């Protein structure tokens, strides 16, 4: 894919529209479950959320991809009518305060979006009905599946803190990095056992997403230890990113990663895609920690403070999109090297979704829905002997056990590829398999969360 086509696809909102399709489902589910929470049970609440959030992610990456813009457009019109009809903006003015919480809802929603879209795509791509322009780019490109690993690293950083001492590093190594590295080796073992071919142009011959996440978590935590304040993470990340880009542009690193004529004779060159992209992911991790610390610095806001927060987020988001367009014409956008353009693109997408979540959910919908029966999973309570129904059931569950969800999705994916031969299935059969696959994974994760079980 040429530079021009790559940036046009990114800026013409192809990827953003695909993400918005699932995001709008979360918004509509919030409105409905919030309004009727006192009439719903937990199972009905889950089914309503599932039916409003997951199907479009399946349909619009496969057989209905041509209609995704119309669908998102209609939901945006519905949302605008809802805001005007309920006088949400006027009600927001009357609120004394806006409590975003120590872990804001926007971070939960962005993490859930990343898990849901990735889970659908990693299976859907094996079916003939998958929308091929969403596939990962071999060199330069800005497609839906290119966002996967970048958003995983970014959301991992959003819920992390800067390391204060070596005790934090040791805890990170044992609790976060080690399980991910083990899963990386398990993935290699299963691929060999089931004789699945791994695309060498994604992470290399042996590396996979689990290794990238584990190494990024560990090295990113070590780098954050050098910074004395959260604010120092920003120049550190920028310096690391610019150095990485200089090596790609002038150190012949980019051709080594992207061109086929370099043999994979050593461990380094066999896994050059995964190894040489790591500095870019370190930068994403540090930037996301810095951003999240700024976001949660003051979470109990007055009306005027909330407006200023939204204004600042909007300006940051627009700046990222402009920088992404500029970076494209200078260096391009490449997931395979995690270059400057790709890092800025990930920041633009995530900050845009965070801004939309705060405005739509925290500012507008929560100003309309003030029923005391509404609660989150964390604040579940009893009222008049009847159990209240939490909102954001699926999002909260994914936030609690995101890695478990991803591991479960990969296990089911392996079974489906081995026993059902997805590449030979019809469109109807592929949709049925995808629906059952997503229903099983989301339901099991929600059951874990309902019982207060947190694995990883």
Q: What pLDDT shows up at residue 298?
A: 86
Write out the E strands in 118-207: none
DSSP summary character for residue 377: G
**Between residues 10 and 249, the one the model is more confident about:** 249
Q: Side-chain half-sphere of 434: how many Cα atoms within 13 Å?
A: 33
Mean pLDDT over residues 317-331, rounded?
A: 91
Question: Helices 42-59 and 105-124, interaxial angle, to 10°?
Answer: 50
What would the pLDDT profile of 89-104 be if each residue is shown by its tens digit? 999 898 888 988 878 8
Q: Select from 343, 354, 400 the least CA-distant residue to 107.
A: 354
pLDDT band at 37 (very low <50, low <70, confident <90, very high): low
pLDDT of 47 higher than 70: yes
Mean pLDDT of 109-132: 92
Residue pLDDT, tens place only, 158-187 = 998 888 888 989 988 888 899 999 989 988
**Calpha distance 425→161 (Å, rounded):** 45
| Average per-residue pLDDT for the chain | 87
Q: What are 55-98's pLDDT values in tens digits?
A: 999 999 999 989 999 999 999 999 999 999 999 999 989 888 89
- Is 384 a residue whose pLDDT tops 50? no
% of the chain beyond a pLDDT of 90: 48
| pLDDT, tens only, 243-293 | 999 999 887 888 888 887 778 888 888 888 899 999 999 999 999 999 999
Q: pLDDT (tens digit, 9 = 90+) per residue, 422-433?
A: 888 888 999 999
Flag whether pLDDT at 379 surpasses 70. no
Cβ(367)–Cβ(92) below 8 Å: yes
Give the model's confidence band at 369: pLDDT under 50 very low, under 70 low, under 90 confident, else very high.
confident
Give dist(CA 371, CA 177) in Å, integer. Answer: 42
Give the N- to C-terminal CA distance of the chain in Å, as an integer.
Answer: 37
Picking from 291, 300, 375, 324, the residue whose alpha carbon sits closest to that of residue 99 is 300
Average pLDDT over every residue of 107-121: 94
**pLDDT computed for residue 234 by the predictor:** 94
Per-residue pLDDT, 381: 44
Task: Tell which wins on pLDDT, 2 or 352.
Answer: 352
Instruction: Tell which wins on pLDDT, 421 or 380.
Output: 421
Per-residue pLDDT at 390: 63
């Amino acid at each position: 894919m040429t530079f021009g086509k790559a940036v046009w696809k990114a800026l013409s909102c192809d990827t953003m529209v695909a993400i918005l399709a699932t995001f709008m489902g979360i918004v509509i589910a919030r409105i409905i479950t919030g309004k009727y929470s006192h009439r719903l049970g937990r199972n009905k609440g889950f089914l309503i959320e599932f039916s409003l959030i997951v199907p479009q992610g399946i349909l619009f990456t496969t057989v209905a991809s041509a209609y995704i813009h119309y669908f998102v457009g209609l939901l945006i019109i519905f949302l605008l009518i809802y805001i005007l009809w309920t006088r949400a903006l006027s009600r927001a003015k009357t609120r004394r305060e806006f409590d975003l919480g120590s872990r804001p809802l926007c971070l939960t929603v962005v993490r859930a979006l990343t898990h849901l879209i990735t889970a659908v795509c990693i299976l859907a791509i094996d079916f003939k009905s998958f929308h091929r322009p969403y596939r990962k780019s071999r060199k330069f490109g800005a497609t839906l599946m290119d966002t996967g690993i970048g958003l995983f690293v970014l959301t991992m950083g959003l819920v992390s803190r800067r390391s204060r001492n070596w005790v934090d590093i040791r805890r990170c190594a044992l609790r976060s990095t080690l399980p991910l590295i083990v899963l990386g080796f398990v993935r290699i073992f299963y691929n060999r056992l089931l004789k699945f071919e791994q695309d060498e142009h994604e992470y290399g011959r042996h590396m996979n997403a689990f290794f990238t996440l584990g190494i990024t978590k560990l090295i990113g935590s070590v780098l954050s230890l050098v910074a004395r304040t959260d604010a120092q993470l920003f120049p550190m990340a920028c310096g690391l990113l610019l150095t990485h880009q200089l090596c790609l542009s002038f150190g012949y690193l980019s051709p080594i990663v992207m061109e086929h004529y370099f043999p994979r004779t050593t461990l380094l060159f066999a896994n050059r895609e995964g190894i040489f992209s790591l500095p870019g992911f370190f930068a994403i991790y540090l930037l996301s920690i810095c951003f999240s610390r700024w976001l949660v610095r003051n979470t109990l806001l007055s009306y005027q403070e909330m407006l200023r927060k939204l204004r600042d987020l909007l300006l940051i988001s627009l700046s990222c999109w402009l920088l992404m367009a500029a970076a494209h014409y200078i260096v391009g956008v490449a997931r395979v090297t995690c270059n400057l353009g790709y890092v800025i693109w990930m920041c633009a997408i995530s900050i845009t979704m965070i801004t939309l979540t705060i405005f739509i959910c925290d500012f507008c919908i929560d100003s309309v829905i003030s029923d005391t029966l509404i609660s989150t999973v964390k604040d579940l309570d009893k009222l008049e002997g009847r159990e209240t129904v939490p909102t954001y059931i699926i999002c909260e569950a994914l936030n609690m056990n995101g890695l478990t969800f991803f591991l479960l999705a990969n296990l089911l994916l392996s079974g489906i590829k081995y026993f059902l031969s997805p590449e030979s299935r019809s469109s109807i059969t592929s949709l049925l398999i995808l629906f059952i696959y997503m229903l099983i994974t989301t339901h099991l994760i929600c059951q874990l969360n309902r019982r207060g079980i947190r694995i990883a």
